[in-house]
Structures are given as C-alpha cells and as structure tokens.
Amino acid sequence: MARLGDLCPGTPAAAWIRDARWCGAREAFVGSRTPGSRSEPLRVEERVAVQRILLVCRGNTCRSPMAAALLRQRAARHAALQHVTVDSAGLAAPTGEAASPDAVQVMGRRGIALGAHRARQVDAALVEHADLILTMTPEHVSRLCERFPNAAGKAVTLGDYAGKSEAIPDPIGGGLPAHERCAEQLDSLIAPRRRVRRAAHRSKEHTG
C-alpha cells in the first residue's frame, strides 16, 4: 500500500498502490503516463502520472477542503511534489458556501488560510481531470463510482491510500473539538513516513 509520503523521495510521484479498493482494479503503478483511455480501471501494466489530486467528501465545507489544504501545504515544501495540483469537491455540496468556521479556525492554527474556500459540487469534469481521487469514507468511493463510472480505477479512501484503512468521520455538529480531531487525523494520514522512520531510527540508536 502506498503512502502519500512515498510520493516525495526518488522519482516524482512514483509509488506502488496495491489492493487499495480501486473499484475493481487491484493494483496500479503511479509513476509515468502511458496512452490509453483514462475512463477504464487501471491495470497492473498501466501507468499514470499523479499530477492532479481531487479530495472528495460530502459537503466540501470541512473534511475535503482541510485535507486539500494540508496536502497543498506539504506539496509546497517538497520539490518532488510541486508539480501536483490539489482540488476538492463534495458529493452533496452547498455550492458557494464558505468553509465551516471551525474548519477555518483549525486550519488557521496550522498557518493555513481557508477563509476564501467556497464549496463546489463534484462533477464529471472534475472526475475526468483528476489522476487520483481521495475520499473520506468507503461510502464516498461507492457513490462516486456509481455516479461517475470513470472514477473507477482512480478513486480510493484517503485512509486506504495511506495504508491505515480508517474512515474520516464528519466533524459537522461536533464543534471545534471534532474539527481539531479531524484535522489531526487528516494530518497523520498525509504526513510523510520519513518522519516516522527517522524517529524510529533515533529511538533505536538511543536504546542500542
């Protein structure tokens, strides 16, 4: 299972993705693009460059915009990811609505301005344009693939893609604490593994 942290070292945007609930496709290699229809599920031998990532939740007012903002922040800090563009949308978005005040506050604590965000509905153009679609729950993947068959092969939950197989609960209605927990969960899924590896290595050195 690939982690978002794998997209940083080595070849830009190169990582194996295995058994990630790809709506029918069992594995794919993300690295270099080859000709072929993007509307069909990815096969083992097919390759596609991850240049456009779409984050999807239900309303596009908290989870997906927070995830997109955190991913943009990380991409800006790593040369190998600076070619990647990140968008977000919702399956039932109140088009034009601002991000939830709690989401704005939580992101502000992390040095990210979310005040200009406006919710938008996921549509066929966004799905077609995306190379990788990351959702918050398995239900989102199912609904997305039912509505847009060409999402099959490139839609997966963020949790599965990060190798943790965990859904990201909707913080709406839970106030600031729920949004903070959501942001922490998103951050842990998007954080590069190299930090963990360095920490584990240092710990081993100290105990050895």
In this predicted model, what pLDDT tens digit does every residue of 61-78 receive, in sequence order? 999 999 999 999 988 888
How confident is the model at residue 4, as a pLDDT?
43
* From 21, 33, 170, 187, active-site residue: 170
pTM of the model: 0.72
How confident is the model at residue 49, as a pLDDT?
63
Residue 1 lies in a domain: no
Buried b (16+ CB within 10 A) or exposed e, 155-193: bbbbbbbbbeeebbebbbeeeeebbbebbebbeebbbbe
For the chain, how many residues are written? Answer: 208
Residue 9 lies in a domain: no
| Known catalytic residue at 38 | no
Residue 4 lies in a domain: no
Compute the distance between CA of residue 112 and CA of residue 134 in angstroms, rounded to an integer. Answer: 20
Buried b (16+ CB within 10 A) or exposed e, 52-70: bbbbbbbbbbbbbbbbbbb
User: What letter does residue 163 receive in the DSSP assignment?
Assistant: T
Lowest mean pLDDT among 46-60, 124-138, 162-176: 46-60
How confident is the model at residue 77, as a pLDDT?
83
Task: Please give the mean pLDDT across all residues of the chain.
Answer: 76
User: What's the angle, vertex CA 71, arms to CA 69 and CA 77, rounded to 5?
Assistant: 105
Compute the distance between CA of residue 187 and CA of residue 31 in angstroms, rounded to an integer. Answer: 24
Compute the distance between CA of residue 135 and CA of residue 102 in angstroms, rounded to an integer. Answer: 20
In this predicted model, what pLDDT tens digit does every residue of 89-116 receive, in sequence order? 999 999 999 999 999 999 999 999 999 9
Whether residue 167 is predicted with pLDDT greater than 80 in this model: the reply is yes
Q: How confident is the model at residue 192 (pLDDT cuts 50, 70, 90)?
A: low
Domain with 57, as residue range(s), is 51-198
* From 57, 62, 145, 182, active-site residue: 57
Residue 185 belongs to a domain with what CATH number?
3.40.50.2300
User: What's the angle, vertex CA 156, arms to CA 45 and CA 75, rounded to 5?
Assistant: 90
Q: How confident is the model at residue 153 (pLDDT cuts 50, 70, 90)?
A: confident
What mean pLDDT do residues 122-128 have? 97
Whether residue 15 is predicted with pLDDT greater than 50 in this model: the reply is no
| More confident site: 51 or 192 | 51
Residue 115 lies in a domain: yes
What mean pLDDT do residues 72-91 have? 88
> Contact 33/47 with Cβ under 8 angstroms?
yes
Whether residue 34 is predicted with pLDDT greater than 60 in this model: the reply is no
Residue 168 lies in a domain: yes
* From 3, 58, 63, 143, active-site residue: 63
Q: How confident is the model at residue 129 (pLDDT cuts 50, 70, 90)?
A: very high
Four-residue CA torsion sign, 129, 135, 141, 144:
negative
What mean pLDDT do residues 110-125 have? 96
Residue 35 lies in a domain: no
Residue 39 lies in a domain: no
Whether residue 12 is predicted with pLDDT greater than 90 in this model: the reply is no
Residue with the two structure tokens 């927070």: 66
State how many domains the chain has: 1
Residue with the two structure tokens 């942001």: 183
Residue 142 lies in a domain: yes
| Known catalytic residue at 63 | yes
